[in-house]
Structure formats: C-alpha cells, structure tokens
Amino acid sequence: MATAGLVNPFMPNQLDGKPFDSGIFQEWCDRMGEMGGLAKDGRTFCQETAKLAAEKLCLDAGVKLLYHVQLDRPLMDGRRIDCVTMLGKSGLTGHRARAYVDATGDADLAARAGCTFELGRAEDGLTQPMTTCFDLAGVDIERMPDRETINRLYDRAREEGRLKCPRHNVLLFRSVEDDRIHFNTTRIIGHDATDTLSLSEAEIEGRRQVLDYVEFLRRDVAGFESARLHAVAVTIGVRESRRVRGHAYLTRADFENATKFPDGICRVNYEIDIHSPTGGGSEHAQLPPGEWYEIPYGCLVPLDCDNLLVAGRPISVDHAVHSSMRVMPPACTVGQACGTAAAMALRQKCTPAEVEGREVRRSLIEQGVWLVETHEGIEAS
C-alpha cells in the first residue's frame, strides 16, 4: 500500500516520541532517509524511494525476489501446505517451503488453504471503504484555504451534484515536495476486495471519483487552479477484507483495557479508526494517555493450518482492533514477527504453532523492537 497504493504518511504508533516499531520498519525508514525520501517528520515519505529502499533491504539480506507473480493455490497435505503454485510470466510454477508467511493483505493463501476467517464487521460483514489515493502537483500551497473552508466548498460541490463521493470531508496531507498535496479522500463503499468483479468495479469507481475531485479542486479551491494530476495509485487501497482466526483473538475490550501478553510481539497505541462501511463518517476511539495494547503471537498463527503464519493486517482480531493495528508501522512489525517465528520453526524442526511465543518476543527484542519494559506479572525478556 505504501508504494502501489500511494498510501502516505505512516500513522503514528509511538509513546512520547519513541516509536514502538523500532525493528525492520525503522530500518526501512532509515534507508529512505539516506536516499532523501523521508520528510523531517519521519512519517511522510516518497513512495518511489520506499520501493527502492524496500528492495535494497531485501537484496542486502539475501532474499530471492520473484516479481510479476500472483498466488494460484496451495497444494495441501492434510493440515500442511505442501507447495504453492504461482502464476507469472513463465506460466504456473511450483514453490515448496517448510513454512509459509501469508503477507497478501487479504489472506489469499490462508483462505485457499481452508483457514477459517472473518470478513468485515460482525453484524453484516461489511468492510471499511476502499480509497483510490492520488497526488496533485503544481499547488500554490501559500494560497490554500484552511480545512474548514475546503470542506465547505466540498459540501457545496456535492450539493450541486458536481462531486459524487460518500465521504463527509476532504482528507489531504502535505507531501515530501513543496508544491504537492496527497489525497486519501475518495470513498468506495459496498465492495468486496476478495471478489474479482467487485474489486474491478471499485477500481473504476475510485478513478471516477478522482476525476470529480480534480475538477472540483481546480475550479473551487484557491491554490489549485493550475494543479496537475501527479499520480493516481496503481491499485485501489483496500483497508479491510479477511481476518484469519488464530490461536489467539483480540477484541475491542482488549483495546479498551490495553491488554498486554507475555508473548506480545507488537505494541500498538494507534486509535480505533473505522471509516464508515456504509457512508460518510468515521469512528475514532483513543487509548488513555501513556497506554498501549499488545498483539500476542497466537494472533499470527492460524487455527487450521500447521505451517502457515499470517502477516500484516489480516490477523486474528475483530473489526475494531483491526482498524487500529492495520496502519503500516505495526503491520510491518507483525510481519517481522512472522519471519522470525518461521525461521525459529525451521531451526527447531517444529511447526509455527509449536514455537514458543515468548521466544519470538525475546528474539524481536534482540532485533531492536521496543517490547522491553515490564508490566505487572509479565516477563519481558
């Protein structure tokens, strides 16, 4: 999402200025900084640099990358994935591993391996809306009105039928360049990211809304008269789809109680942030100041498959917790925990479910992830 989805900036997941995601996520940011692609705030970045920095990190670590491939399906041996087939320029190819990490965002591998999952919110299965992000360049930022004025103009354009978008206001951010504004503001509701036709229709609707926005901004908003469409995300942004049921499951109550776990592998204090699945508004809920909750290792380990781990946003949490942990910094730390656990499973000749979650936590601490301070009754290292 940070590259092809044009999603920017990294949402804050930190305490008193100290980031929780101080492992590989931080290494990635540092690389971007060295390449001149990270703003002073440490959160706004250039997506082109993000690509180059991510690839360099992988290559330097000896990762063999395969581009232009899509998962076809796993071939199962009981509760184990024996091998996966991928579709790419060479046609179908098979890839065998002892442990697999599903980092597809939508849990495509887990779903095709027969894992139980939830989709959307409990009451009706609806997910958070999708958004096609875009950037405008050539903006005279000095002349831009404040957000309230932009929102008033936006309401008027919607009332006059010139802009069709269910979102209640305009969500925009400064970018790494002085004359560029980033928009995370189109809103596509009622679509399912795991359905090819529905996803295609959402892409088309997202681009239609981008055109409406560009016309509105150029016509109505000071500073945008000569703005150019700098980039439209290559892929629509999907906030939410499947969440795979695992050996642990976090709920809104865990968020509210700031629950910690002996096998917590990631700390999060980013808010509950649910863009309405049906319309305009958003729901927000914050933790008390100075607090965070932890994601236990069991949320990454599917109940129904023995040699699979789930990384990023589709882990075993409810709709509310998902809306908090899905932002990019903790999503990266969850991925780091999966890679760590997969390596431990190989070394210990066991399944990811048999790996001791406290050991994963300990290894992450050694790798620099901020999980060290103790809590009542909880072992840190």
Ligand X SMILES: Cc1cc2nc3c(=O)[nH]c(=O)nc-3n(C[C@H](O)[C@H](O)[C@H](O)COP(=O)(O)OP(=O)(O)OC[C@H]3O[C@@H](n4cnc5c(N)ncnc54)[C@H](O)[C@@H]3O)c2cc1C
Nearest distance, CB of residue 349 and ligand X, angstroms: 28
In terms of CB distance, is 239 or 361 closer to ligand X?
239
**Stretch touching ligand X by CB under 6 A, among 44-52, 192-200, 205-213, 236-244:** 236-244
301 near ligand X, rule: CB under 6 A: no
Q: Which two tokens stand for residue 374?
A: 């103790």
Rounded Cα distance, 224 and 226, in Å: 6
167 near ligand X, rule: CB under 6 A: no
Residues in the chain: 381
Instruction: Give the count of residues interacting with ligand X (CB under 6 A).
Output: 25
In terms of CB distance, is 220 or 233 closer to ligand X?
233
Of 243, 326, 358, 361, the one binding ligand X (CB under 6 A) is: 326
104 near ligand X, rule: CB under 6 A: yes
Of 150, 157, 268, 331, the one binding ligand X (CB under 6 A) is: 331
172 near ligand X, rule: CB under 6 A: no
- Which residue number is nearest to ligand X in terms of Cβ? 312
Q: Which two tokens stand for residue 245?
A: 């049921």
Rounded Cα distance, 225 and 214, in Å: 10
Of 19, 206, 223, 237, the one binding ligand X (CB under 6 A) is: 237
In terms of CB distance, is 104 or 363 closer to ligand X?
104
Q: Evaluate whether 261 touches 378 at the Cβ level (below 8 Å).
A: yes
Q: Which two tokens stand for residue 186?
A: 């189109």
| Strand positions, DSSP E, the chain | 14-15, 18-19, 70-77, 80-88, 91-96, 100-102, 117-119, 134-137, 172-174, 181-183, 228-232, 242-244, 264-268, 272-275, 282-285, 293-296, 308-310
Nearest distance, CB of residue 46 and ligand X, angstroms: 15
10 near ligand X, rule: CB under 6 A: yes
Rounded Cα distance, 106 and 149, in Å: 37
Rounded Cα distance, 103 and 264, in Å: 19
Q: Evaluate whether 82 touches 76 at the Cβ level (below 8 Å).
A: yes
Site for ligand X in 257-286 (CB under 6 A): none
In terms of CB distance, is 74 or 312 closer to ligand X?
312
Under the rule (CB under 6 A), what is the footprint of ligand X? 1, 5, 7, 9-11, 70-71, 103-106, 108, 131, 133, 184, 237-239, 312-313, 326-328, 331
